[in-house]
Structure 1
């Protein structure tokens, strides 16, 4: 092990430690409001697998490069894993190199936004407009035509291929 690897490893451990401190274990869902699909916390927990529950209901983040949807290139629609609302069409997906499924736009009316001040920075969080489930964040470093990158947690999505 050289000094560079030691410093990079130490920086990664420190970043994850700060994330754990900045995000309380049972942080409430930021996207509070009147949504068409509303369930109790116990109902969400029973409905979703643990990783999807953490992301959708408690604004967690999946580890980068772990989602099978990173390599999904078929024609189809990406749906909210919480309520099945269509969020993105496959034509808007691109490889951002970040380790999360990325899209340059969404289906009209499918997403809402809130300001996220966690991790000592200000970001724009995106959530499903039907159930309020946290999807990820939007950044201004995407490709044309929008210049936006919707960086989405794969566990917050389901994929429905187009049938011929």
Structure 2
């Protein structure tokens, strides 16, 4: 992905609400079953709240029972990056927006076919665009 977006901390704070900032810029996690898109069922696409990059389609969204929006694949694998996360005494794969490095959530190998993956994503990192 080209045209990397880099802003200083103050610019991100000005753009995002406090929860969005904590999740996307500081790697926080919002509460399960108490977030905007965990049970959202409209057709459309989910974009990065920080830069607008399209990340996930409602067509790949499913109910994982985790309490967070879950998808079995991104719209375009080039729009995300995955890094090992060793925080909280766990080994997990962190999912980031490839364009702005926003923390989105984590990916786990316990999802449905066809990928077997579960992208467990924070609603606070997403902006939904309804299908036309």
1:37 corresponding residue in structure 2: 5
Structure 2: runs of 5+ lacking an equivalent: none
Cα distance in structure 2, aligned partners of 1:35 and 1:126: 19
Number of corresponding residues: 130
Structure having greater relative contact order (Cα 8 Å, sep ≥ 6): 2
1:101 corresponding residue in structure 2: 69
- Paired residues of 2:12 and 2:21 also in contact (CA < 8 A): yes
Cα distance in structure 2, aligned partners of 1:66 and 1:157: 15
Q: SS of 2:7's equivalent?
A: coil
Q: SS of 2:37's equivalent?
A: helix
- Please tell me whether Structure 1 or Structure 2 has the larger radius of gyration of its CA atoms: 1
Cα distance in structure 2, aligned partners of 1:144 and 1:61: 26
TM-score (norm 1): 0.77
1:113 corresponding residue in structure 2: 82
Cα distance in structure 2, aligned partners of 1:120 and 1:68: 28
- Paired residues of 1:93 and 1:102 also in contact (CA < 8 A): yes
**RMSD value over aligned CA atoms?**
1.1
Listed as ranges, the matches of 1:81-100 within 5 Å are 81-100=49-68
Cα distance in structure 2, aligned partners of 1:117 and 1:67: 24
Question: How far apart are residue 72 of structure 1 and its match?
Answer: 1.5
- Runs (4+) of structure 1 moved beyond 2 Å? none
Q: Does residue 1:62 correspond to 2:16, yes or no?
A: no
- Paired residues of 2:96 and 2:102 also in contact (CA < 8 A): yes
TM-score (norm 2): 0.95
More strand by share: 2
Q: Does residue 1:131 correspond to 2:100, yes or no?
A: yes
More helix by share: 1
| Alpha-carbon distance change, 120 to 92 in structure 1, aligned in 2, over 3 angstroms | same
Q: Deviations over 1:115-149 (max 9, x none)?
A: 10011111100000010000000000000000000
- Paired residues of 1:35 and 1:131 also in contact (CA < 8 A): no
